[in-house]
Amino acid sequence: MEASDSSPSLPAEIQHPVFAYLGPNDLDAIGRAYRFSERAHAGQFRKGGAPYITHPLAVAEILASWRLDAQTLIAALLHDVVEDTGVGSEDVSESFGKPVAQLVDGVTKLDKIHFENKAQAQAENFRKMLLAMARDVRVILIKLADRLHNMRTLEGMRADKIHRIAQETLEIYAPIANRLGLNKVYQELEDIAFQHLHPNRYKVIEKAVKAARGNRREVVEKIKTSIETKLLDCRIGAQVYGREKHLFSIYRKMQEKHLAFSEVFDIYGFRIIVEDARDCYLTLGALHALFKPIPGKFKDYIAIPKPNGYQSLHTTLFGPFGAPVEVQIRTQEMHRIAEAGVASHWLYKIGETSLSEVQRRTHQWMQSLLDIQADSRDSVEFLEHIKVDLFPDEVYVFTPKGRIVALPRGATAVDFAYSVHTDIGNHCVGTKINSEFMPLSTPLRNGDRVEILTSESARPNPAWAHFALTGKARAHIRSALKNAHRHESVSLGEQLLEQATRALGSEAVGEAQWERYQKESGWSREDTLAEIGLGKKLAFVVARQLLARDQDNGTRPNAGPMPIRGTEGVAVRLGKCCRPIPGDPIIGQIKKDQGLIIHTHDCNQVRHYRDDPEKWVDVAWSSELDKLFDVGIKVIVANQRGVLAKVAAAIANEGSDIDNVHMEEEAGAFTSLYFTVSVQNRLHLARLMRALRGLPEVIRLQRMKSRSEERTGNIV
């Protein structure tokens, strides 16, 4: 690596044993980077009073303890020079190469860009960092090391800033460390954040753990000795270690399960390191012979590794005195991955086909960040989506061909569909879970075999957004709905504009007129039609501009009503205030950002628009209707046994479905039944009402056009 800042001797700070794994050329380059950073930060100090250079050096030492490459360590030494000094990215590139400059740029914050608020600025910083990470995971490793050292040295900062940094660490950085398998970093970040966010609770739990450590030492030693003896008898070579849970995980368990500290028995556990995977299972058998296993508390992460590459056998046993004992069994290689995660296998000059399983899984997750970014409207939405994917409580399900898919706990069949492929998610119509047809909203469980049924004509349903859990699924659903909404708005805008041009005496708008309009207004044809469909532009005004009519003669010739089918989509909606059905006289109201809303002529919502022809559209029911429409009815009946069943049967006999029903007792011997039923049109509703009047138990009928009319509806 070429650098203009060469020096014959290595700085004393770079002679630390943690850098000993590097070759002479790499050490020389790192030494030059150290001097470069030292000069750039000259005169700068940290809040605690130490020279600023101590921070980038500490970050480089953390990364060196993970045995990362020289480029990463150089970028760590330089990670603040562009942000906090007069050094530019070009200077870094010229002195240390473009790859190092790109790493530094990925870590650098966006402080020079103006944002509307702190939340947006924070979200944009995370978006930039995570997208840089998707291109090169070393970016996030530098950032995690940077955050770890900052968390270790929070002294001297304002209390509000400490609280913000700790909360940010707990919500974002600790989960990312966990997602990448950096177990030690994850636990330390959580504990330090917990210490600063809840200092009193931290001290209480820390004191209780120290007391328990003394009280339980004898029990722990007894269990450890029993395990070692049993494994020796079984001729299994193993190292047995006592393992203490970190403080935040104890606090989290107390919070989630509403436990007092004295009720948390599994503060201490054991980790057993063996020779190979075969010995892991032999050890498991030996332990289950020694102590009884607790049902449902066994997890095989060797056969089904976590997405971050973590592998171990987990089991919980009934130990002496009835206390549960947690045990993790793994090989030395599995232990290395569990502690260092993706940083434990570092290959940068080898193609993806040679990547380890840990790197391959991490690469897949990072690529999914790019998919989520592409379908997110802004940085805040992007951050919202990925937060879901950062938390590690997962379920493992199978495709029909036996491939394992890891999803967050609570994920549904829709999440599974999008995890397999975006097109499968966008076109799914149903699912089979363990060979049984189930709703797409069904939460998945460990071991489920999931098959997705698709149709080319199918599109995402807005209801999916309410139960989809993963960031990828939610981002794609929102994107598809947004595109569908735009397509429908354009289609509606085209109809409204056509109606307006006919009213002005012209049959169509030519290409030359559109070109002139676009040149004068700066609006494209599609954007203009979408704006008309959404009610942001008036069709009549645009039509006059297109036809170059500077003045209107004050009259609007009848262009014929726009046909309404009820299936147009989100750009054309039936008003909830009056719930029109075919046969009702209707009027269309153009509402900004909502498109065309269809009301009945007598609806209170449009009375004050009737005298302003620019705000309503002449509409009529189409002669081709192929859907059912919801309508509310109120049936007052005499209190008799089986009356609800009789009314429901009469409704069904008239070919109508009941979508909802509830009842209220009236004064005296009567009950009000409120139904939402599906009908074809007003004639169908009239037949249904006649059938209900024929029941002797029915006292009175009302059609309810809105909720407010439930008590005062018009009698039909």
Alpha-carbon gap, residue 375 to 385, rounded angstroms: 10
More confident residue, 494 or 261: 494
- pLDDT tens column, 389-407: 554 466 778 888 877 787 8
Alpha-carbon gap, residue 493 to 497, rounded angstroms: 6
Q: What is the pLDDT of residue 398?
A: 84
- Tokens for 284, please give them: 């498991």
Examine the pLDDT at 213 and tell me if it is beyond 70.
no
Examine the pLDDT at 569 and tell me if it is beyond 90.
no
Q: What is the pLDDT of residue 77?
A: 93
Residues 38, 83, 105, 526: which is the catalytic one?
Answer: 83
Average pLDDT value for the chain:
79
The answer to whether 395 and 409 are in contact (CB under 8 A) is yes
Examine the pLDDT at 342 and tell me if it is beyond 70.
no
So where are the chain's domains?
12-199, 211-343, 479-621, 629-715
Alpha-carbon gap, residue 498 to 495, rounded angstroms: 5
Q: What is the pLDDT of residue 392?
A: 47
The answer to whether 509 and 502 are in contact (CB under 8 A) is no
The answer to whether 138 and 105 are in contact (CB under 8 A) is no
Q: What is the pLDDT of residue 61?
A: 93
Residues 84, 394, 451, 526: which is the catalytic one?
Answer: 84
- pLDDT tens column, 418-437: 988 888 988 898 999 988 88
The answer to whether 716 and 650 are in contact (CB under 8 A) is no
Q: Which fold has domain 211-343?
A: Beta Polymerase; domain 2 (3.30.460)
Q: What is the pLDDT of residue 564?
A: 80
- pLDDT tens column, 516-532: 888 777 788 888 887 77
**Closest to 6 measured CA to CA, from 25, 29, 24, 38:** 29
Please indicate whether residue 83 is annotated as part of the active site: yes
Examine the pLDDT at 130 and tell me if it is beyond 90.
no
**Closest to 498 measured CA to CA, from 394, 617, 385, 384:** 617
Highest mean pLDDT among 209-218, 377-386, 647-656: 647-656
Q: What is the pLDDT of residue 552?
A: 45
The residue type found at 469 is L
Which of 75-89, 254-268, 597-611 shows the lowest mean pLDDT across its residues?
A: 254-268
Give residue 282's pLDDT band: very low, low, confident or very high (50, 70, 90). very high
Q: Number of C-alpha atoms within 13 angstroms, CB side, residue 313?
A: 21
Q: What is the pLDDT of residue 354?
A: 44
At a CB cut-off of 8 Å and minimum separation 6, what does 395 contact? Answer: 406, 407, 408, 409, 411, 444, 445, 446, 448
Q: What backbone torsions phi and psi does residue 123 show, to the nearest 5 degrees?
A: -65, -40
At a CB cut-off of 8 Å and minimum separation 6, what does 142 contact? Answer: 59, 63, 72, 75, 76, 79, 103, 106, 107
* DSSP bridge pairs for 244: 268
Cα distances (Å, whole numbers) of residue 300 to 271, 297, 311: 15, 10, 8
**Closest to 433 measured CA to CA, from 449, 417, 446, 445:** 449
Alpha-carbon gap, residue 487 to 527, rounded angstroms: 10
Give residue 131's pLDDT band: very low, low, confident or very high (50, 70, 90). low
Q: What is the pLDDT of residue 592?
A: 63
Examine the pLDDT at 588 and tell me if it is beyond 60.
yes
Q: What backbone torsions phi and psi does residue 616 show, to the nearest 5 degrees?
A: -135, 160
Q: State the CB neighbour count (10 A cutoff) for residue 214.
A: 8
Phi/psi-derived region of residue 313, left when phi > 0, alpha when psi is between -120 and 50, beta in every other case: beta
More confident residue, 32 or 469: 32
Q: What backbone torsions phi and psi does residue 601 show, to the nearest 5 degrees?
A: -60, -35
The residue type found at 602 is D
Examine the pLDDT at 449 and tell me if it is beyond 60.
yes
Torsion 350-353-354-360 (CA) sign: positive
The answer to whether 409 and 444 are in contact (CB under 8 A) is no
Which of 5-9, 32-36, 225-229 shows the lowest mean pLDDT across its residues?
A: 5-9
Q: What is the pLDDT of residue 362?
A: 58
- pLDDT tens column, 138-157: 888 898 999 999 999 988 78
Architecture of domain 12-199 in CATH? Answer: Orthogonal Bundle (1.10)
DSSP characters over 260-312: -GGG--TTEEEEEEESSHHHHHHHHHHHHHHSPBPTT--EETTTS--TT----
Question: Regarding beta strands 324-331 and 268-274, do their DSSP bridges make them parallel or antiparallel, or are they unpaired?
Answer: parallel
Alpha-carbon gap, residue 18 to 68, rounded angstroms: 11
**71-83 mean pLDDT:** 90
Q: What is the pLDDT of residue 340?
A: 66
The dihedral formed by the CA atoms of 631, 636, 639 and 642, expressed in degrees to the nearest 10: -30
Examine the pLDDT at 534 and tell me if it is beyond 90.
no
Q: What is the pLDDT of residue 714?
A: 38
**pLDDT over 70 for what percent of the chain?**
77
Q: Tell me the CA end-to-end span of the chain in Å, nearest whole number.
A: 87
Q: What is the pLDDT of residue 135?
A: 67
Q: What is the pLDDT of residue 74?
A: 93
Q: State the CB neighbour count (10 A cutoff) for residue 31.
A: 25
Examine the pLDDT at 202 and tell me if it is beyond 50.
yes
Q: What is the pLDDT of residue 610?
A: 64
CATH number for domain 629-715, candidates 3.30.70.260, 3.90.1170.50, 3.40.50.150, 3.40.50.300: 3.30.70.260
Examine the pLDDT at 376 and tell me if it is beyond 80.
no
Please indicate whether residue 84 is annotated as part of the active site: yes
Q: What is the pLDDT of residue 546?
A: 81
**Closest to 55 measured CA to CA, from 150, 165, 162, 164:** 150
CA gyration radius, the chain: 34
* DSSP bridge pairs for 421: none
Q: What is the pLDDT of residue 716?
A: 34
Could you list the beta-strand ranges (E) of 612-687: 616-617, 619-621, 629-638, 658-665, 670-679
- pLDDT tens column, 491-512: 777 887 887 777 666 767 888 8
Q: What is the pLDDT of residue 455?
A: 87
Torsion 147-151-154-157 (CA) sign: positive
- pLDDT tens column, 675-689: 999 999 999 999 999
Three-state DSSP state, 217? helix
- Tokens for 160, please give them: 């509000």
Q: State the CB neighbour count (10 A cutoff) for residue 538.
A: 16
Examine the pLDDT at 191 and tell me if it is beyond 90.
yes
Torsion 137-139-140-145 (CA) sign: positive
pTM for the full predicted model: 0.53
**588-607 mean pLDDT:** 77
Q: What backbone torsions phi and psi does residue 526 show, to the nearest 5 degrees?
A: -65, -40
The H or E element containing residue 598 is strand 595-600
- pLDDT tens column, 48-59: 788 999 999 999
